[in-house]
Each structure stands twice: as C-alpha cells, then as structure tokens.
Chains A and B, each alone.
Chain A
Amino acid sequence: MRRMPLIGLLSVSLVALATPALAEFKPTKPIELVVHGAPGSGPDTFGRAIVDALDKENLLPVRVQINNKTGGSGQTAMSYVVENAGDDHMLAVFTMLWLSNPLTVKEANATIHEMTPVARLVLEPALIVTKADSPYETLQDFIDAAKEKPGQLKQSGGSITARDNIMRQILMAETDTDWVFISFPGGGERLAALLGGHVDLLMMEPQEVGEQVRAGSVRVLAQVNDKRLPEYADVPTLKEAGFDVPNVPQGRGLVAPPTMSEDAVAYYVDVLRRMSETPTWKAFLDRNQMDQAFAGPEDTKAFFDSFVADMRVVLTAAGVEIIR
C-alpha cells in the first residue's frame, strides 16, 4: 500500500510530461453532482442521464455521485454549492428555477450568479395546446376570444414564476388581452384540468403532452421554439403564428461552486462538450424531446443574465414583488 502514492506521483508526472505548458486539471476523487430534486424528479433524471452518458462513454477517470440536496425549492442545493466554494470536484444541475427563485424569494440568499457557470446542455421547447373539441383552431382564435371576454378564459400551469406564466404575460402584453392563470403543482393535474374542460389553454413540454397530441385529445396551437420541431412540422412557431414575441427559454446544464479553478472548469467543459455529442446523450435528448444546446461558460453566463433581465421586466409587469 505504501507504494501507491509513489505510483500516483509517477503517473502524474508522466501526464505532465506528455502534455506540456498547461498545468492541466484531472479529477482525483469521485465527483459530486448536486441536484435539487428527489430521486425520480426532473432534475434528478437529468443528472442521472449525464452520469449514465459519462459512464457508458468512458469520459471520466473517476466516478460521479449524485447528491440529492432536496428542499427549499432548490435553495438547499444552491446554498450547498455556494458553501463549497473552491471545490474542484463538485458540479450541480441548474434549471430555470435557480434563476427565477432568488428574484421573488426572500430566503434565497445563495444565487447562481455567485457560482461558476460551466455549460448549458439543453433547451426545452414547449407546445401551446387546447382541448381537441375546443372552438380555437389557432392561437389567434384564442386571443380573439380572450379579447371578447377579458379575464374569463383560463390557462392551467405551474408556479407564477415558471415559464408558462412568463409566456402568458408576454402574450397578454403584446396583444392587450387578459386571461387567468391557475397554478397546479403537478404536471398531471395541469393536464387533467385541460382534458376535463375546466381550463382552456395549457403550455407544456412536448414530452409531457406529446402522447395526448398523438391520441388526438388535444390540439396544438403553436410551438414555443425558434424553428419547428420535426415531430410537429405542421404547427407554426409563435412568430409564424403572427406573434412577434421572444421565446422564453427553458434551459438546463451544469454550474460549479464559486471560485472553481480555471483549469478544472476548462476540463469539465471539454468533457461535457464531448459527452453532448455521444449517442447515449443524443438518445436521451430524443427520448425526452429536448434540443441539443451546448454552450460554454461565457455563453451560459450571458444566457443567465439575459434571462434574469427579461424575468425582471415581466414579473414587475405582472405585479410580482421583486426582492433582489
């Protein structure tokens, strides 16, 4: 056993010899991947897909361990990442919740802006749907109806800081209309409210609502995406449907604790870039109908900043109190 460090030292120096100049980073112990959801939740599934792809494609010399830091609507995980400043063996899955929460929640004292951006990996498009037997054939039909009966049409969705409400606010401002947004905590409940005819409109990721489209129980009015999804080639994007509004993005990727060394960041960015091109990862994206959207640290940071700036405007317009 006592010989081990020597061998380790030797191999490190060999690597150093083989790759001159850069004092390159290599992980030396298992990497901790923090996710803010319980096992089986969205962020957890996403994290496990990353671990799966890294594993199957042999992209890392060490194991990656998922750490479910649940609670505090993401805040427990965010505080944990900030507390571990300087740790080169920790990464965390971010979702848009990590950006929107600190804007409205007083207790959210750890923000994503303190962390080190690593990579955005995917963007999720969304579909705007109505019940198959509803009178609205196009989004314009719905908007017209909303104009006729202000405040009477209903949309089911998640929290008011979630993307579906932000898109609603933008559309209402653009068309000078007004309809109600009813929050339901679970995706199943949102869908059930639409299918039961209790609400008129729903905006949802294709993975969640796709089967209803295929079975003909809902009608897709528009897609929230820059270009048409292959599976929904006959459905107009918002712009094509005549609404020149920004598509509020829904992105996921990885961040690292504050002050992670530059070498380590560069290393992870490289690994993740290679991972995003592997068949295992692409199969995961296909299955979940997510868009490949790899972006390096600078672009990821720009993505954060522009999203938060937009959110501020929209939430203020919606009358939501902005804390920070």
Chain B
Amino acid sequence: MSILDGLLQGFAVALTVHNVAWCFVGVFLGTIIGILPGLGPAATIALLLPLTYDMEPTGGIIMLAGIYYGAKYGGSTTSILLNMPGEASSVATCIDGYQMAKAGRAGPALGIAAIASFIAGTIGVLALTLIAPPIAAFALSFSSPEYFALMCLGLSLVVLLGGDSMVKGLLSLFVGLWLAGIGTDIFTAQSRFTFGTPALLDGLDFMVIAIGVFAISEVLATAEERGQARAIPVPRGIRNLLPSLAELKACRFAFLNGSVVGFIVGVLPGAGSSIASFIAYGIEKAVSRHPERFGNGAPEGVAAPEGANNADSGGALVPLLTLGIPGGGTTAILLSALIVWGIRPGPLMITESPDVFWGLVASMYIGNVILLILNLPLVPLFAQLLRVPVWLLLPIVLGISLVGAYAVSGSLLDVWLLAGFGLLGYLMNRLGFPAAPLILGFVLGDGMERAIRQSLMMSQGDLSILVSRPISATMLGLSLLILALPLLRWRRTRQATALGE
C-alpha cells in the first residue's frame, strides 16, 4: 500500500464523526493538563486508560494520543504568563516567553507559541507519514556514544544560555549536573548524595526544580517590589494580543528549526522532549544575527522550543509505531493501551492494523488544526489573567506550584525541595547567576553520565569509540564549534572596533 493510499484510508477512518469527537476530547484534555503543572500526560493517560478498555481501538488511540500532543500546546501558557513551566518540555519557553510577557507582549508570545506548535506539530506528523520506516532505522544506529555526543552538544549550549558572565553560567551548570547525580546509580546499585533519605533514591524530580527556580523565585522577586501595583502590564488593544507580521517573519527559521530538531530528537528513544526544546533554543540563538535579544523577550526564543516540543511527539511515535519501541513514559503507556485493545504494536503493526496506524496519523493532522482553532481564541482570554492584581495572583501561583510539586509523587519532601529551590532561584537571580544552565545541566547530566559509561563498557574502556563513529564524531565536532563561537564573535567585534578606530 502506498503512503497516499494509506493516508487517504486513514482520513476516511479519522474523519468519521465519532473519531473527530474523540480527537477533540483528547486534545482538549491535553490542553488543560498541559496548563496545569504537576499533572502530566503520562499520568492522565494511565488514569483514563481503564475507561477506554471497551472503546474501539482506533477511537481510543486517537483520543489518548490527542492528550499526549495536546499537552505540549498547553504547556507554554503558564510558562509565558507566570514563568511556571506546565510540562518538562516547556521549560525553555519560560526564558524568552516570560520576558515577552513582562514587556507587555504576552498575547503575541502565546500566539507565536500556538502557531509554532501548529506548524511544527504538522511537520512532525508529515515526517511521520512520509519517512517513518527509514528514520526508525536511523534511530537504531544511534547508541550510547551518539547519545553522549548529543548530550555534549546540548551542554555546549551553556555558552549561549549563560548570560553575561561565563563563570557564573558554568557554576550554575555544574550545580545542575551535580543535582542530576543524586539517586541510585543503575550500574552499581549504590545510592549517591541521598544523605540516608530513602525518598531521594530515585533522584530529584525535574518539575520540582523547574517550578522552584522559575516560578517560586519569580514570586519572591515580585513580592519584593511591593511598591508597584502590577508586575506585568496587561496587553491592551488587538495589536498587543496577536503577533505582528514582523514578529512572525522573524520566527520563520525558528519554526523550521524547531520542527526538524524536535522530530529528529523525538525519534531517538533515549533522548526526550526537554532536550529537544533546549537544543532548538540553543541553535536558534547560535545562528541568530541578534543573539543579544535572546533572554530579553525574543519571539524566536519562544517559537523554536515550542516548535521542537511539538514536533517531538510526531517523532516519538515513529519508533513506537514502526518498531514497538517506546521512547519515554508517555509512549510506553500508549503501547500498553494498544496491547489492551488487542493491537500488537511492533514491526508488523502497519501491515496488520493499517486502520489504527493510518487512522492515528490522519487524526493528528486534524488534531493539530483543532488545537490551533482551540488555542488562538484562548490567547486574549489567558492574557486577561494578568489583570488579576498582584496581591491575588502571587498566592495563586504559589498555591498552584505547591500543589503541582506535591502531585508529582504525593510526597511532602517534594514541597520542601520546591521551597528550597525557589529560594536558591531567588538568590541566584539576585546574584546574577542564570537559572537556565542549571536546568540544562540537570536535564542532560543523568543521561550523559549513563551514555559515557555505557560507551566505555562497549569499548572495554577505549575512549576512541566516541570519535570513530561518524555520527558521534560529527556531533562532538559541532559542540566544539559552538564552544568556540563566543571566541570567534569576540574577535570579530574586536576587529570591527579596531577598524572603526
């Protein structure tokens, strides 16, 4: 069966009234849980799974997948408005999204996030439609050395996220890397930095750290500026509710960059969507002609990571649907859902259950359109949230953050940790330490350590495994280049000033 036949057949399945309805239910629920921090798509799908046992499989998977990619849309809302990441994948969006909101451009930031999500989400599905089997084969050629190189590429971005002082950026990064080391080491079954606390055996939760250093520290900083009635100006007039043409034009490359990076990283079972969004953000800043605007409310800084985390869901479905290999928690649950319905997810699924595969793929085109229609009109509505006076807004943010942290694993320790990280974030902010490198280090640290140890076990301790494999060598070279970038730029500006004189 050709791809076109399959897709047409898929649309025939997905466009039935009840499947469109299930798609709507899924993406709607996804948007909501995306907005709420703490409750992630994985937990939601697991909780809803028993209700879908008796559903027809195509409708069921269409709905559950809708929750999965719908959550990526919703995640940006609180990142932009409150500096509070709703999902792990939308942390990078906080960096410029919240700055845009502070400059009175909350509406355009939300609009750009929605448009970037739509474009990249659709490109991700398009890639899933066209090149799923070959790209799955490519994903298998990725192993530990390649993952290590990918994480190095991610870490090298610190020079771009670091702000003014490279020393402070690196310190922040190292704290993040150390935090990632807390927990049980899978290779030796020994615990590290747990200080005898059993609750730390699984390590720290990403959301607790992210909400702490972003949202709580912001609440503290805002509370300190008591004199002002409102921290964030309320957008007024239609021009401040939608992105301008110039802003959209500036984001052209970011949309594409986010789509490609998100999809490729999504396909790799060992990566994750927060890595995708950070890498897309870093690349965007690296190639930008105005890197100084990043971190101060650059629209590209919203478009790239938001695009990446949406294209990522299309990518993550590639190994799941073509090989039966789940890349992360949410796709693992989708896999178990398919088994419950009697579908056998694996290399034979596309030929044996074409209705389910193509129906799902087609529904994702529809879902992305629904999400855009659903989210764009919500922009003005959400922007009005900023009308809430500070004395009321701050306690609400604090409350949602606490509940979100508690919801992660139902443990009070997480709430204390949240408070601790909030304080840490506040102090870092006061002393001029950027928070983004800390998060980056935490996201990459664990996987990076694992990948290098796995690589060395594969090669019996020979480090040359990292450079003798072409993909890994290329990425390591690229990270060296990024590390050298500030140096090159510095030389160029020096030459320019010298010439000017």
Q: Check A39/B47 contact, CB under 8 A, given A188-B269, A214-B348, A320-B189.
A: yes
- CB-based nearest B residue for A184: B454
CA distance A231 to B292 in the complex (A): 62
CA distance A96 to B327 in the complex (A): 24
CA distance A180 to B454 in the complex (A): 10
B139 CB, nearest partner CB in chain A, Å: 7
Residue of A44, A160, A189 with most partner-chain B CB within 10 A: A189
Q: Which residues of A contact B9 (CB under 8 A)?
A: none
A271 within 8 A of B: no
B202–A186 touching, CB < 8 Å: no
A134 CB, nearest partner CB in chain B, Å: 15
Q: Which residues of A contact B328 (CB under 8 A)?
A: 186
Write the B158-170 contact mask toward A (1 if CB under 8 angstroms, else 0). Answer: 0000000000000
B133 within 8 A of A: no
CA distance A182 to B270 in the complex (A): 14
Chain-B contact segment, one of A102-110, A139-147, A232-240: A102-110
- CB-based nearest B residue for A183: B186
CA distance A182 to B459 in the complex (A): 11
B409–A70 touching, CB < 8 Å: yes
CA distance A287 to B344 in the complex (A): 10
Interface footprint category on A: 35 or more
B16 within 8 A of A: no
Question: Which residues 345-384 of B sit at the A interface, judged by CB distance below 8 A?
Answer: 345-349
Q: Which residues of A contact B2 (CB under 8 A)?
A: none
B470 CB, nearest partner CB in chain A, Å: 14
A261 within 8 A of B: no
CA distance A249 to B346 in the complex (A): 26
A177 within 8 A of B: no
A40–B411 touching, CB < 8 Å: no
Q: Check A214/B141 contact, CB under 8 A, given A38-B42, A189-B270.
A: no
B346–A185 touching, CB < 8 Å: no
A188–B46 touching, CB < 8 Å: no
Q: Check A159/B189 contact, CB under 8 A, given A40-B46, A40-B49, A70-B409.
A: yes
Q: Which residue in B47, B194, B331 is a CB contact (below 8 Å) of A107? A: B194
B326–A71 touching, CB < 8 Å: no
A112 CB, nearest partner CB in chain B, Å: 14
B323 within 8 A of A: yes
CA distance A70 to B203 in the complex (A): 12
- CB-based nearest B residue for A180: B457
B348–A211 touching, CB < 8 Å: yes
A189–B269 touching, CB < 8 Å: yes
A40–B45 touching, CB < 8 Å: yes
A105–B189 touching, CB < 8 Å: yes
Q: Check A211/B324 contact, CB under 8 A, given A188-B319, A188-B332, A192-B139.
A: yes
A-B contact pairs, 9 of them (CB 8 A): A38-B46, A108-B201, A154-B458, A158-B186, A160-B187, A180-B457, A183-B186, A186-B270, A188-B319
Known: A39-B42, A76-B198. 19 other contacts (CB 8 A): A38-B329, A40-B45, A40-B332, A44-B46, A70-B409, A73-B184, A106-B191, A107-B200, A184-B270, A186-B328, A188-B319, A188-B325, A191-B325, A195-B140, A195-B323, A210-B344, A211-B348, A214-B344, A321-B190
> Which residues from chain A sit less than 8 Å from chain B, CB to CB?
38-40, 44-45, 48, 52, 68-73, 75-76, 79, 104-110, 151-152, 154, 158-161, 180, 182-189, 191-193, 195-199, 207, 210-212, 214-215, 217, 287-288, 320-321
